[in-house]
Chains A and B, each alone.
Chain A
């Protein structure tokens, strides 16, 4: 210790570095400064230790120490046979594992599920690792190509036509519904009090339908002609490929700069052709497995991944719509968001499953799983819209002003300046909704879809495995699976947040 420094002082010897006092670092330091440094902290430390003691120890005891690890049926998991109070009954999980993963998916076809999951992992993992290249191609494969391939893999079935037939079919359906509406009006005009008005309206609509019918006639004629030839899929494919390639070539800038666009569209079509050939789609494809046979983790993953991937674009569109200056778009967005947020998910699922078919025209059916998917996507979309809106509100007006002053259009300002910043602000909220969506998928079990939890509860009914601890074991297992996925999402979101917010660290 030096004496008090007088008014003038010059240091002669520089001080050497010393280690910190023992009592402030390491485990002892932690105990002294963080755990036992005040009466309140001592109390909290003791309470924490007790909490750990009463939760961790019994869990470990139930899941590991007292667990039964092997056996053929319930006899192995009964206390009188095992000789001790039995905890988790793992042979039960082992026996029911296929059912928990695949549901009632036919055993011979389960390789298709495995292949789909493998494909998803192969495409998703590189997408999640920022260092790997070709993100554009990778994203295109995962978000566009993969869902189609996954559909034909999981569901099976083939195709009878291609782009041309589909376009013609869609237009025809559209046209038929217009004509149908016109006919309905004409019929009701005979009995109604405002008959003449309805008659005029009905005639006009029917006339419109007829006009559209003749407008699309060349297309439908070509479709019927192609269907008549032996190689309908490949003829249609060739025609569609030629038309699309030509359009991209022209849009890409013609002879001068269209080469790249042409090359990439040709490459895309070649890839599509290979997929069709590989999966034999032109000859009926794989055997059809209808969605009511799907189940277990498969349904949970299909529902949650589709929900996650579709709800974010829906949410972004609705959030932008809600801030739009165009009244119609704004009112629509507000009404849509408030409606879906105001209705419980269970109601949505019930409505989609049991009431929607009553409203749709008779010849128009939508698969039960797809109906649930659409309901969940719209429901989560409305929540995501509010999350995104929070992010948009956090962006100062100056940002879009500066972009506008540089000459950027509204679309470019939104996609390059506003949204990237807004979404970064709300990553925790978005992932929060994703996680809650992942767990809410278990609600589909009330509309006769057997997700992981539904399959689990179905398996409880099996008398072969009914023991006192079966239910606890099953729920523990389901809980562990849910936790792995949700915790994974949570950690990954933290990583993304940290990486994308590099600009906020000084």
Chain B
């Protein structure tokens, strides 16, 4: 096995006195798709937010593509350039058009000329199937479209890893599919993905591994087939019985 692209070892995090992540060890290979699930408050979002240093942590180490991110958060900018993130609430910049949303970071972080950045942005907007809305403002679009723009925006920075923090939880059921389809396409192109989601269908179809978390720790990690067919831990069984009816 080659060196993992994301390697989390001995990660511990506290919110004040509250121990929110406990001894997390996780290695993600290049091109691997990992779905993280678990009850709310189990620390799934916190975990992936640690990977691009949106949350600081007190102990342990995260290595992304050879760049080391310790508790003192050195190399924070280098890591963020390698990692794209999609949020539950889209977090598009409402005062900028869709196109400007997608060109902002390439222009200001990577110093790419505006024209080139716009070409690249249009390419990614085509890939998420909304090129004709490029000059609209986010507020004029549906939730599903906004989330696809958010995916395109993250992709314009050519990340090596994509993090998804419950990307479909804020969407109407009708729109969940268009976003999931986009993510499936992305997975088929070989993108390394860490996805926090409750979409078990997506996990079955796309994931290489499913990680189940509870109370700040990884309870069980397995291939989707094994995970859904034969969960080992009692807590996993309970969780699955609750969500799969």
A503 contacts B81, C-beta separation under 8 Å = no
A506 contacts B54, C-beta separation under 8 Å = no
With known contacts A405-B54, A407-B77, A407-B157, A502–B105 Cβ distance under 8 A: no
- On chain A, the residues within 8 Å of B157 by CB distance are 406-407
- On chain A, the residues within 8 Å of B211 by CB distance are none
Say yes or no for A188: interface residue by CB 8 A criterion: no
- One digit per residue, 1 when the CB lies within 8 angstroms of any chain A CB and 0 when it does not, for chain B 47-65 equals 0000010100000000000
**Whose C-beta in chain A lies nearest to the C-beta of B93?**
A417
- The CA-CA distance from A404 to B55 in the complex, in Å, is 11
- One digit per residue, 1 when the CB lies within 8 angstroms of any chain A CB and 0 when it does not, for chain B 207-228 equals 0000000000000000000000
- On chain A, the residues within 8 Å of B137 by CB distance are 502-503
User: Which B residues between 142 and 190 are near A, CB-CB below 8 angstroms?
Assistant: 150, 153-154, 157
Please choose the segment from B18-26, B83-91, B237-245 that sits at the chain A interface, where 4 or more of its residues have CB less than 8 A away.
B83-91
- On chain A, the residues within 8 Å of B96 by CB distance are 503
Contact partner of A404 (CB less than 8 A), chosen from B80, B84, B93, is B80
B153 contacts A503, C-beta separation under 8 Å = no
- The CA-CA distance from A401 to B45 in the complex, in Å, is 13
- The CA-CA distance from A34 to B95 in the complex, in Å, is 37
- The CA-CA distance from A402 to B108 in the complex, in Å, is 14
B139 contacts A504, C-beta separation under 8 Å = yes
A407 contacts B87, C-beta separation under 8 Å = no
B105 contacts A503, C-beta separation under 8 Å = no
A407 contacts B80, C-beta separation under 8 Å = yes
A406 contacts B105, C-beta separation under 8 Å = yes
A406 contacts B80, C-beta separation under 8 Å = yes
Query: Smallest Cβ distance from A223 to chain B, in angstroms?
Result: 39
- One digit per residue, 1 when the CB lies within 8 angstroms of any chain A CB and 0 when it does not, for chain B 89-117 equals 10111111000000011001100000000
Per DSSP, chain A at the interface is helix
With known contacts A405-B54, A406-B157, A506–B80 Cβ distance under 8 A: no
Q: Which residues of A contact B (CB under 8 A)?
A: 396, 398-399, 401-409, 412, 416-417, 420-421, 424, 500, 502-504, 506
**Whose C-beta in chain A lies nearest to the C-beta of B97?**
A503
- On chain B, the residues within 8 Å of A416 by CB distance are 104, 108
Extra contacts, 11 of them, besides A398-B87, A506-B140 (Cβ < 8 A), are A401-B91, A402-B92, A402-B93, A402-B150, A405-B83, A407-B157, A409-B77, A421-B94, A424-B95, A503-B137, A503-B138
Closest 4 CB pairs of A and B: A402-B91, A406-B105, A503-B137, A398-B91
- On chain A, the residues within 8 Å of B77 by CB distance are 407, 409
- On chain B, the residues within 8 Å of A405 by CB distance are 52, 54, 80, 83-85, 87, 154
A401 contacts B109, C-beta separation under 8 Å = no
- The CA-CA distance from A348 to B84 in the complex, in Å, is 51
Query: Smallest Cβ distance from B100 to chain A, in angstroms?
Result: 10
- The CA-CA distance from A125 to B91 in the complex, in Å, is 36
- On chain A, the residues within 8 Å of B52 by CB distance are 405
A406 contacts B153, C-beta separation under 8 Å = yes
A-B contact pairs, 17 of them (CB 8 A): A396-B89, A399-B91, A401-B54, A401-B87, A402-B85, A402-B91, A402-B92, A402-B150, A403-B93, A405-B54, A407-B105, A412-B109, A416-B104, A421-B93, A503-B137, A504-B139, A506-B139
Query: Smallest Cβ distance from B27 to chain A, in angstroms?
Result: 22
- On chain B, the residues within 8 Å of A404 by CB distance are 54, 80
Q: Which residues of B contact A (CB under 8 A)?
A: 52, 54, 77, 80-81, 83-85, 87, 89, 91-96, 104-105, 108-109, 137-140, 150, 153-154, 157
Contact partner of A420 (CB less than 8 A), chosen from B81, B89, B95, B138, is B95
With known contacts A420-B95, A424-B95, A407–B54 Cβ distance under 8 A: no
A/B pair count, beta carbons within 8 Å: 67
A399 contacts B139, C-beta separation under 8 Å = no
- On chain B, the residues within 8 Å of A403 by CB distance are 93
- The CA-CA distance from A49 to B95 in the complex, in Å, is 44
Contact partner of B104 (CB less than 8 A), chosen from A406, A421, A504, is A406
- The CA-CA distance from A500 to B137 in the complex, in Å, is 12
- The CA-CA distance from A170 to B41 in the complex, in Å, is 59
- On chain A, the residues within 8 Å of B81 by CB distance are 407
- On chain B, the residues within 8 Å of A396 by CB distance are 89, 91
**Whose C-beta in chain A lies nearest to the C-beta of B88?**
A398
Query: Smallest Cβ distance from B220 to chain A, in angstroms?
Result: 28
With known contacts A401-B87, A402-B91, A406-B157, A503–B108 Cβ distance under 8 A: no
- The CA-CA distance from A402 to B154 in the complex, in Å, is 9
A503 contacts B139, C-beta separation under 8 Å = yes
- On chain A, the residues within 8 Å of B83 by CB distance are 405
- The CA-CA distance from A404 to B80 in the complex, in Å, is 8
- The CA-CA distance from A407 to B96 in the complex, in Å, is 18
Query: Smallest Cβ distance from A470 to chain B, in angstroms?
Result: 52
- The CA-CA distance from A416 to B153 in the complex, in Å, is 16
Q: Which of A396, A399, A405 has the most CB of B within 10 A?
A: A405
**Whose C-beta in chain A lies nearest to the C-beta of B156?**
A406
B95 contacts A503, C-beta separation under 8 Å = yes
A412 contacts B108, C-beta separation under 8 Å = yes
- The CA-CA distance from A421 to B105 in the complex, in Å, is 17
- The CA-CA distance from A3 to B176 in the complex, in Å, is 45
- On chain B, the residues within 8 Å of A417 by CB distance are 93
**Whose C-beta in chain B lies nearest to the C-beta of A504?**
B139
- On chain B, the residues within 8 Å of A503 by CB distance are 94-96, 137-139
- On chain B, the residues within 8 Å of A412 by CB distance are 108-109
- The CA-CA distance from A409 to B138 in the complex, in Å, is 23
- On chain B, the residues within 8 Å of A406 by CB distance are 80, 104-105, 109, 153-154, 157
- The CA-CA distance from A402 to B139 in the complex, in Å, is 17
Query: Smallest Cβ distance from B157 to chain A, in angstroms?
Result: 6
**Whose C-beta in chain A lies nearest to the C-beta of B81?**
A407
Query: Smallest Cβ distance from A468 to chain B, in angstroms?
Result: 56
A408 contacts B105, C-beta separation under 8 Å = yes
- The CA-CA distance from A338 to B77 in the complex, in Å, is 36
- On chain B, the residues within 8 Å of A500 by CB distance are 95
- On chain A, the residues within 8 Å of B139 by CB distance are 503-504, 506
**Whose C-beta in chain B lies nearest to the C-beta of A412?**
B108
- On chain B, the residues within 8 Å of A409 by CB distance are 77
- The CA-CA distance from A120 to B138 in the complex, in Å, is 38
Query: Smallest Cβ distance from B6 to chain A, in angstroms?
Result: 15
Query: Smallest Cβ distance from B211 to chain A, in angstroms?
Result: 21
Contact partner of A421 (CB less than 8 A), chosen from B91, B95, B140, is B95
- The CA-CA distance from A412 to B96 in the complex, in Å, is 15
B85 contacts A407, C-beta separation under 8 Å = no
- On chain B, the residues within 8 Å of A504 by CB distance are 94, 139
With known contacts A401-B54, A506-B139, A408–B108 Cβ distance under 8 A: yes
Query: Smallest Cβ distance from B121 to chain A, in angstroms?
Result: 13
- The CA-CA distance from A416 to B107 in the complex, in Å, is 12
Query: Smallest Cβ distance from B104 to chain A, in angstroms?
Result: 7
Q: Which of B84, B94, B140 has the most CB of A within 10 A?
A: B94
